[in-house]
Structure formats: C-alpha cells, structure tokens
Amino acid sequence: MEVVIVPDAKAGGELIAEAIAALVRRKPEALLGVATGSTPLPVYEALAAKVRGGDVDVARTRICQLDEYVGLPAGHPESYRSVVLREVVEPLGLGEDAFMGPDGTAEDVQAACEAYDRALGEAGGVDLQLLGIGTDGHIGFNEPCSSLASRTRIKTLTQQTREDNARFFDSLDEVPHHVITQGIGTILEARHLVLLATGEGKADAVAQSVEGPVSALVPASALQLHPHATVVVDEAAASKLK
C-alpha cells in the first residue's frame, strides 16, 4: 500500500484526477468505480476540468457505482444513482448508457445484488475504484464487522453513518436504514484501489486502516491485502499516522 500525503483536499483531488486521466489515456474504455459523499468531489471537479480543457477524452470511459440506498424512489435526488449522474456522469459529458449501478428499488434486493456483482465481472472488472472512508473505517457501506470476503449485498447502516449522512437529507428520519454495497471482496477485485481521506475527523480511521492490523473491525484495513492500493490523505487526515 502506498500512502501519499498532500497539503489539502484540492491537491488530493488533482492528484487522483491525474491518475484517472492517465488510466483513461492508456485504456480509453476503462471502468471507473466512483464513491459518493463529500470527499471525492474535488476529484470529480478536477477530472471534469481536464475533460473540458481537452487534457483527456473520456468518451469511451464507463462509470460504476459503489453503493446505493435501498428504498429511495427512482429519481430521488439523494439516491446514489442521481448523485453519481449529477456529480460525475453529466460533468464528464457522458450519458446514462456509460453508467452502471445496483438497483436500490428492486423488489428482490438479493437478486439485484447478485446481478450487480455479475455485471461488474461481465464488464471486465473495475480498473480503478475510488473510495472514501467512514469515521468508523467503513468503505462502501461495509460497516465494521463486515466479512473481508463479502460480495455485493444488503447492509444495515449504523446509527453513526446515518447521522453522518443526515446532512444530505431534510432530517435524520429520512435517511434510509438499508443500502446495497459492493462487498469488501468485490471491492478488492478492482485493479487499483484509491482511497481519499480528508479532514481531522478521518484521522483515527486512517491510522487504524493503514497502520493497524487487518481486521473486519476496520473494513478499510482490507486495502492492506490489495497489491495496488493508494491512500491519499491531506495533512489533517494524516495527523494520527506514526
């Protein structure tokens, strides 16, 4: 695992956007796995600026989702499908056909999870998966105690994560209790994992993930098992590294 410490979130965004651009120049039809939440926004902004500036052509690039709320109606502005379309797909000038994600509205959620895992494989696998990290060390929505071998499945959000995400909704009551998330085993199949963490609130989770033992109690510690994992942290998020 390589750890890169950058001065701030913007620098982290630039660095990762350049890594994505380099991948796409090498492999124009790359499958790029994206995360939602606040952390990756500087990456998406920097990448969209590169596309607008003609620095990279993403016309053939495909985008896939890491996780999705269960039960939000199709088109709900906070469903991760809507968020990824708004924050990534549209700014990159791509259409919905370039995008794949799990169906959080499916009647048979388990079947939707299995179908998504299969679809990722059939698409050739994820070339670069961008990850954020929860204050409790989650990746995707694999909360502590998730199996390190887990596949895409339904998970119950912890109260902490629901509270962390309540800022995107009008009230805590509106935050769904369940999500579909790529499993840790699924995430580990991506060819390159890039985790971005910014701000002091992530410092403990980063230190445990990078310097602690590999443990299901800290899902992001599974990155230590991956042959090509890059952790990009700003100085605040790096503040508890030894």
Under a CB-based contact definition with an 8 Å cutoff, are residues 216 and 181 in contact? Answer: no
CA separation for the pair 160, 136 (Å, rounded): 8
36 binds ligand F6R per the rule CB under 6 A: yes
Q: Which of 109, 139, 180, 203 binds ligand F6R (CB under 6 A)?
A: 139
Letters for 61-100 (x = contact with ligand F6R by CB under 6 A, - = none) are: -----xx---------------------------------
Q: What is the DSSP letter of 85?
A: I
| Residue nearest ligand F6R, CB atom distance | 132
Q: Which of 50, 62, 138, 192 binds ligand F6R (CB under 6 A)?
A: 138
Verify whether residue 143 is a known catalytic residue. yes
Nearest CB to ligand F6R, comparing residues 61 and 142:
142
Verify whether residue 226 is a known catalytic residue. no
CA separation for the pair 178, 180 (Å, rounded): 7
The SS3 of residue 198 is coil
> Among the options 67, 87, 127, 234, which is catalytic?
67
For residue 233, give every residue at least 6 positions away whose Cβ sits within 8 Å of its Cβ, in sequence order, or none. Answer: 3, 4, 5, 6, 12, 196, 197, 198, 202, 206, 241
Nearest CB to ligand F6R, comparing residues 56 and 66:
66
For residue 184, give every residue at least 6 positions away whose Cβ sits within 8 Å of its Cβ, in sequence order, or none. Answer: 139, 140, 142, 146, 147, 148, 149, 150, 219, 222
- Segment interacting with ligand F6R, rule: CB under 6 A, options 7-15, 92-100, 126-134, 222-230: 126-134
Q: Within 13 A of 123's CA, how many CA atoms are on the CB side?
A: 25
What six digits make up the tokens of 234? 């700003």
176 binds ligand F6R per the rule CB under 6 A: no
35 binds ligand F6R per the rule CB under 6 A: yes
CA separation for the pair 232, 240 (Å, rounded): 14
Nearest CB to ligand F6R, comparing residues 36 and 150:
36
50 binds ligand F6R per the rule CB under 6 A: no
- Segment interacting with ligand F6R, rule: CB under 6 A, options 32-40, 120-128, 145-153, 209-217: 32-40
208 binds ligand F6R per the rule CB under 6 A: no
Q: Which of 146, 156, 213 is nearest to 180 (CA)?
A: 156
Residue numbers at the binding site for ligand F6R (CB under 6 A): 35-39, 66-67, 132-134, 138-140
Mind telling me the catalytic residues? Answer: 67, 136, 138, 143
